[in-house]
Structure 1
């Protein structure tokens, strides 16, 4: 036993208990949401018209170094999404005939979207379960941006690094 230790005595006052960790101290006060990710990433989403060709889409994907395009109809409303996977599937089905086809013929129409208020954990789970990597962000029917599974993971990794640094500073003083 260290020499500085003094056992509690009968007349000692009860000290306030302090815990370095508890459920409440380990929970962040604000859960990360899609809107936080969009604030750091930006809300740019590259869109293409339904009437454009796959050749045009491939050129945009290559030039912008992205994996999917938002597809909009004549009124600029969300009509679908065209991913590299959609294009590869069509190339296998119609070799040599794919590039002149329209985006509308090849896009995914039933697009799973999220809202800015959705938590990143919920969005990540939906992407994993649905086996897709891109998700448009929509609020009130208006396109707000697009996030990828990589965006979500990188955002969370940055959060974890920040939390680790804060803990280190608490320990070191």
Structure 2
């Protein structure tokens, strides 16, 4: 006669809820943006006041037109001094980067980290139907990594 087990059927272990990993879960949506007609000095003032390194350039319908950064402003200062040109009338349109690479809001934030390494950008705009809906920065990816600390990096 065999020994019978009186142990009941074991319940499936509860799976821990997977933390959010999409770019949309970590992107910034309250953005400081710029217009093409603004002067470089207005941009520099805004960058300094808000302690940011750049921002998206949009039109009145929030369509992404480009980005303007500290580097673009520094290039403007350097060029105007080198060529001894007055720089009061230089606008964002003249200095912004127009061919902007974007990231999809549904992309895994860890894949976004890899894209930051490959492209060497500080931020990527996130666009939906041509309109700016957010931005992910290297700092946002660091925040995501701290949030996911100890979890499976392959989620």
Displacement, 1:158? 2.4
In structure 2, the residue matched to 1:76 is: 62
> Hey, which of these two has a bigger chunk of helix by percent?
1
CA pair 100-116 structure 1, distance change in 2 beyond 3 A:
same
Q: Which runs of 5+ in 1 are unaligned?
A: 1-10, 14-24, 165-173
> What is the number of residues matched between the two proteins?
139
Assess, with a 3 A threshold, how the Cα gap between structure 1 residues 104 and 12 changes in structure 2: closer, same or farther: farther
Q: Following TM superposition, by how much is the alpha carbon of 1:90 offset from its aligned partner in structure 2, in angstroms?
A: 2.5
Q: Which has the higher contact order (CA 8 A, sep 6+)?
A: 2
State the superposition RMSD in angstroms.
2.7
TM-score with structure 2 setting the length: 0.76
TM-score under structure 1 length normalisation: 0.69
Q: Contact conserved, 1:51 with 1:103, CA < 8 A, in 2?
A: yes
User: Which structure 2 residue ranges, 5 or more long, are not aligned?
Assistant: 5-14
* Aligned counterparts of 2:148 and 2:122: Cα–Cα separation in 1: 21
Which structure's CA Rg is the greater one? 1
1:130 aligns with 2:114: no
Specify whether residues 36 and 92 from structure 1 end up closer, same or farther in structure 2 by C-alpha distance, changes over 3 A only.
Answer: same
Structure 1 runs (4+) greater than 3 angstroms displaced: 28-31, 96-100
